[in-house]
């Protein structure tokens, strides 16, 4: 089980006799895409890729080498890790606009996570993973120096987004965070499905700073929000994982690039306290924790809903799965507490 760069011995029901292969994404390492390769010609005839992504043999005699050139990867094509670049984080897609990057800073550490704005009475609520805001080992809240949220933060190394757009929707400061009591007192660690409780919400101030000036209205009025949706026990959905994955798969300069993964099916366990699990999805990396798993509304394809938040990855040899804390009664209770406090 991998979280924030650490591995443990896999899910509770995994075979303990199988050795752990920490940090290895078998699909990403074992199946590189032809589109991502670079190639060099060795003769003067036209160079093209065959259906297997290889340079075919040249019928003529070799002549001086043609300089190597990369094969471009379309923006909307999955990369070798299965993720796709969000084409335009500042466009009309609600799931992209409400998803943002979190900056969690304490005296001795700095952490990045993902989160998403959800619809609420006071229009000021962000959904994320509990381990992004609370250290269960030390029983201390994180972000003593700073905990901020930047919706649709769009800095990246491709030059698609202008610097002025990095914080177009503002930098929002946490007001108060809420986590399940089972996570706060540590009892969830002994539960059959401990990651079920690794979910949190936090309120933000009703004003924010942006590169274009100041914003003086609730965050939901600026970017919108997702409605939570429950996946019934034993049910499944075709979801989209959104967030800001970073190391070890993505270089530091790409950590602020919003990406999404639309692979696989998210399945709920057979009991109400289980988690959502996807054995075909992209792995989660540092910075991606707390990112939403979103689905299209069954009646309105233009509406997106959140069914869970990424919080864990299991790796066991060639098998891996990505897990998410589901929308459940635990989240409903957190929203009620936040609503009461205002």
The CATH architecture annotation of domain 85-341 reads: Beta Barrel (2.40)
Q: Which residues contact 218 (CB under 8 A, 6 or more apart)?
A: 122, 123, 124, 206
- Asked if 89 and 100 touch (Cβ cutoff 8 Å), the reply is no
Separation between Cα atoms, residue 195 and residue 275, nearest integer Å: 7
This prediction has a pTM of: 0.76
Higher pLDDT, 141 or 81: 141
In this prediction, residues 5-11 reach a mean pLDDT of 36
- Read off the pLDDT band of 71 (50, 70, 90): very low
DSSP result, 112-154: EEEEEEE--TTS-EEEE-GGGTEETTTTEES-SSEEEEEET--
User: With 70 as the cut, is the pLDDT of residue 26 above it?
Assistant: no
* Rounded average pLDDT over 192-200: 90
- Tell me the C-alpha distance between 233 and 231, whole Å: 7
Is the pLDDT at 52 greater than 70, yes or no?
no
C-alpha torsion angle, residues 55, 60, 62, 65 (rounded to 10): -50
Q: Could you report the per-residue pLDDT of 93-112, keeping only the tens digit for each? A: 899 999 999 999 998 788 99
* Prior bond of 277 cis (ω within 30°): no
156 contacts: CB under 8 Å, gap ≥ 6: 85, 253, 254, 256, 257
Specify whether the CB–CB gap between 112 and 100 falls below 8 A: no
Q: Write the pLDDT tens digit of every residue in 117-154.
A: 999 999 999 999 999 999 999 999 999 999 999 999 87
Residue 267, number of CB atoms within 10 A of its CB:
18
In whole angstroms, what is the distance from residue 198 CA to residue 183 CA? Answer: 7
Q: What size, in residues, is the chain?
A: 342
């Amino acid at each position: 089980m991998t979280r924030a760069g650490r591995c443990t011995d896999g899910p509770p029901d995994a075979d303990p006799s199988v050795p752990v292969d920490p940090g290895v994404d078998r699909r990403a390492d074992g199946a590189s895409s032809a589109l991502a390769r670079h190639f060099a010609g060795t003769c003067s005839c036209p160079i093209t890729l065959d259906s297997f992504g290889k340079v075919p043999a040249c019928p003529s005699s070799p002549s001086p080498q043609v300089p190597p050139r990369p094969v471009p990867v379309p923006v909307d094509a999955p990369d070798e890790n299965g993720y796709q670049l969000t084409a335009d984080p500042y466009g009309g897609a609600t799931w992209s606009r409400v998803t943002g990057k979190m900056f969690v800073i304490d005296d001795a550490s700095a952490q990045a996570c993902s989160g998403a704005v959800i619809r609420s009475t006071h229009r000021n609520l962000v959904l994320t993973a509990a381990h992004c805001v609370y250290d269960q080992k030390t029983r201390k809240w994180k972000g003593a120096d700073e905990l901020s949220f930047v919706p649709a933060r769009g800095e990246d190394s491709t030059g698609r987004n202008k610097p002025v757009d990095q914080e177009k929707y503002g930098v929002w400061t946490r007001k108060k965070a809420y986590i399940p009591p089972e996570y706060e007192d540590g009892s969830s660690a002994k539960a059959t499905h401990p990651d079920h409780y690794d979910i949190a919400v936090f309120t933000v101030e009703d004003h924010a700073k942006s590169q274009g000036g100041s914003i003086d209205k609730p965050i939901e009025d600026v970017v919108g929000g997702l409605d939570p949706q429950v996946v019934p026990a034993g049910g499944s959905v075709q979801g989209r994982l959104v967030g800001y994955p970073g190391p070890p798969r993505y270089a530091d300069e790409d950590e602020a690039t919003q990406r999404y993964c639309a692979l696989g099916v998210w399945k709920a366990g057979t009991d109400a306290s289980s988690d959502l699990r996807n054995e075909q999805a992209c792995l989660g990396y540092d910075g991606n924790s707390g990112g939403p798993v979103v689905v299209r509304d069954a009646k309105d394809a233009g509406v997106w809903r959140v069914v869970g938040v990424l919080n864990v990855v299991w790796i066991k040899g060639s098998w891996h799965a990505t897990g998410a804390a589901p929308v459940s009664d635990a989240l409903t209770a957190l929203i009620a507490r936040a609503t009461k406090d205002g």
